[in-house]
Amino acid sequence: MTNKPVQSLTVKKVSEQKCFDGWHRQYSHWSETLNCEMRFAVYLPPHVDDGEDVPVLYWLSGLTCTDENFMQKAGAMRLASDLGMAIVAPDTSPRGEGVPDDPEGQYDLGLGAGFYVNATQEPWSQHYRMYDYVVEELPALVEKHFPVCEKRSISGHSMGGHGAIMIALRNPESFCSVSAFSPICHPTDCPWGHKAFGAYLGDDQSAWKAYDSVELLKRSNVSNPLPILVDQGDADGFLAEQLKPESLLQASAEKGYPLSLRMQSGYDHSYFFIASFIEDHLHFHAEHLRG
Ligand SMILES: N[C@@H](CCC(=O)N[C@@H](CS)C(=O)NCC(=O)O)C(=O)O
């Protein structure tokens, strides 16, 4: 049994490294939303040591990741330090004893595969509420414990790219900009989405649409659109079957919603691709966070 702490919204520092004059830290905390102990990572630029409140970029990772993949592989911290931007990277699912996993042990359901939705089906619904965690609990924790201002942007990769675009389209007032690498653009129309949404949300596919970026874009308000930047490698092995950026592009064209989709020649699905373009994304967000 997990020991549930009496006080919510408390955090415990579990690691700390100085990096480009700022700090990379990991924190653990009890999540009321996910009903388990969680860990997240934060990069704080040197500006916070001078008493400045900084804007935050939330980063959502893909299948199999934890809070560590982005921080260790993307190479984002040098520029985040220069730009005075904090980065917060949560885990990709609830974790720990009593949290169910895919009965078949596959990587694309259960642990490491929360898909940023609120599960409604057994056995998932007690813990798999990553939508509420990212939209509500995590920002509340971050804004309570770190010297950040209320300016937020969001980005992510693959399953996390789906999470970033979907969450931003559902909460446009909460973010200044959104970007994604290789996002799962249309989860209601690909095998990863069918497997996860079927398990977490049930067989009624009308319930899936609330978490599908293409469906959300079709229904979005274009009068004040959020800036969206998407990078996609054309040598990505998941592109045709799972990612479907052409569906997002078509919805944005039909709706008249501005979207910048850049196809990048020769790049695959890995963090080598993310590392190659992360600085463009940080500059993009910095521009909109400043505005
Ligand atoms: N090839 C992986 C598929 C999962 C995958 O490619 N995960 C991506 C996100 S969808 C990732 O970022 N992996 C971790 C890493 O590269 O550090 C597998 O079969 O386990």
Q: Exactly one of 61, 158, 177, 182 is catalytic; name it.
A: 158
Q: How many CB atoms lie within 10 A of CB 27?
A: 22
Q: pLDDT tens digits for the chain (291 residues)?
A: 445 554 578 999 999 999 999 999 999 999 999 999 999 999 999 999 999 999 999 999 999 999 999 999 999 999 999 999 999 999 999 999 999 999 999 999 999 999 999 999 999 999 999 999 999 999 999 999 999 999 999 999 999 999 999 999 999 999 999 999 999 999 999 999 999 999 999 999 999 999 999 999 999 988 989 999 999 999 999 999 999 999 999 999 999 999 999 999 999 999 999 999 999 999 999 999 997
Place of tokens 């860990």: 39
Per-residue confidence (pLDDT) for residue 275, from 0 to 100:
99
Of 65, 184, 232, which is best to mutate to test ligand 1, by the most ligand atoms within 8 angstroms of its C-beta?
A: 65
> Measured between alpha carbons, how far is 16 from 3 in angstroms, rounded to an integer?
24
Pocket of ligand 1 (CB under 6 A): 62-65, 69, 73, 107, 157-159, 269-271
Domains of the chain (ranges, CATH numbers): 12-290 (3.40.50.1820)
In whole angstroms, what separates CA 230 from the centre of its chain?
14
Give me 144's structure tokens. 């309570």
Helix residue spans in 171-207 (DSSP H)? 191-201
Q: Considering 162, 177, 236, 247, which one is annotated as catalytic?
A: 236
Q: How far apart are CA 274 and CA 233, in angstroms?
A: 10
In which residue are the tokens 């642990």 written? 111
In tens, the pLDDT along 54-82 reads 999 999 999 999 999 999 999 999 999 99
Q: Which of 47, 127, 162, 269 is catalytic?
A: 269
Cα(103) to centroid of ligand 1, in Å?
A: 20
Q: What is the pLDDT of residues 184-218, one digit of tens each?
A: 999 999 999 999 999 999 999 999 999 999 999 99
What is the C-alpha to C-alpha distance for residues 193 and 137, in angstroms, rounded to an integer?
24
